[in-house]
Amino acid sequence: MGIKEKRSNIPHGRYSTALILPANLKKGKESTLAANRLILVDPRGEITEDDLLEFLERYIEPAFWPWLKEKEDTKNEQ
């Protein structure tokens, strides 16, 4: 199924930071991404940036923050 990893952010150029994708991900010539606090990346570049951003804003961001708060509240109760 999916993979999970923690990666270092590497300074790239004067203002940018690079994130190296894991070797076991199938990658295309370019990647597309949408980001705010979270990053959604298509390493094959098959999904447009507009579609990724719409999906991130409509489904992922609204669901993630309440889920995280509930998880933290449950952890604090124990």
Q: Tens digits of per-residue pLDDT, 26-60? A: 999 999 999 999 999 999 999 999 999 999 999 99
Of the candidates 76, 71, 41, which has an alpha carbon nearest to the alpha carbon of residue 56? 41
- What is the structure's pLDDT at 1? 72
In one-letter notation, the amino acid at residue 40 is L
pTM of the model: 0.81
The span from the CA of 63 to the CA of 41, in Å, is 18
Position 78 confidence tier, pLDDT thresholds 50, 70, 90: confident
Distances in Å between the alpha carbon of 34 and those of 19, 40, 63, 74?
Answer: 14, 5, 16, 30
When the pLDDT of each residue in the chain is averaged and rounded to a whole number, the result is 94
- What is the structure's pLDDT at 40? 96
